Amino acid sequence: MEPNTSTNALRRKPLQATKHKQISLKDELDIIEQVEKGKKQVDIAVTYGLSKQTVNTIVITKEAILSKKASGGLQLKRFWFREASYPDVEEVLLMWLRDARSRNIPVN
């Protein structure tokens, strides 16, 4: 008796969802450096446990990452960086917070 294809389909293991993996900016810089040295993106993806598309996205956004590093506004242990929506307001808020903390005023 030939196996029924519909029952074989039921025996397959369900697809497992892939977990979201955060990549530090240091790792992104290492990936960019390896690509510039000529290493294949597939090999880099396997090394870091990423998909090739993720490595490709890092390479596409390398100009933004490298310009942020050159400006000195990049902390390598961080997992992401974003620009402030209202930089003036955030700067004044930070000044106020530092002033309040220097006067030992509790800030909630």
Instruction: Provide the mean pLDDT of the chain.
Output: 80
Which class for 62: exposed (0-12), middle (13-18), buried (19 or more C-beta within 10 A)? middle
Distance CA 9, CA 70 (A): 54
Is 49 a domain residue?
A: yes
Return the higher-pLDDT residue of 67 and 51: 51
What's the CATH code of the domain at 37?
1.10.10
The answer to whether the pTM exceeds 0.75 is: no
Contact residues for 64 (Cβ-Cβ < 8 A; gap 6+): none
pLDDT in tens, 77-105: 665 666 778 889 989 999 999 999 999 99
Q: How confident is the model at residue 17 (pLDDT cuts 50, 70, 90)?
A: low
Identify the H or E element spanning 98: helix 87-102
Question: How many distinct structural domains can be found in the chain?
Answer: 1
Domain range for 27:
23-77+84-102
Is 10 a domain residue?
A: no
Is 51 a domain residue?
A: yes
Is 5 a domain residue?
A: no
In contact, 29 and 69? CB cutoff 8 Å: yes
Q: How confident is the model at residue 67 (pLDDT cuts 50, 70, 90)?
A: confident
